[in-house]
Amino acid sequence: MSDAQSTRWPETRPDVGVSVEAVLAEERLEFTDRIIGLEQQVKELQAASRLSPSEAVAVEANLAGMKSSLTWRAGRVVTLPVRVLRVVKRRVLG
């Protein structure tokens, strides 16, 4: 911890420093506050990314339509050798 952070609390006597326990307690509070904030962000992001049932059906239909297109199938054929080599590499190397 830096010297600037160790002088946060005003002391009645200038020769008395902040105890290690007090500094650790403040750090724990800061970490707890940070965790609570991050948990709230995760909740907000999860709520924003959820699709309604009708939106999910529309997305699945759009994906199925895309996968059935000639361009998708041609791309899968063109990239087949690369995908096969990746699978072989994973199995051989670990």
| Residue 58 to residue 25: CA distance in whole angstroms | 51
Q: What is the pLDDT of residues 33-44, one digit of tens each?
A: 999 999 999 998
Q: What is the pLDDT of residues 48-86, one digit of tens each?
A: 778 788 988 999 999 999 999 999 999 999 999 999 999
| Residue 45 to residue 37: CA distance in whole angstroms | 12
Q: What is the pTM of this model?
A: 0.43
Q: In Å, how far are 3, 27, 69, 82 from 79, measured between CA atoms?
A: 58, 52, 16, 5
What three-state secondary structure class fits 58? Answer: helix
Write down the H helix ranges in the chain.
Answer: 3-6, 20-49, 53-67, 70-78, 80-93
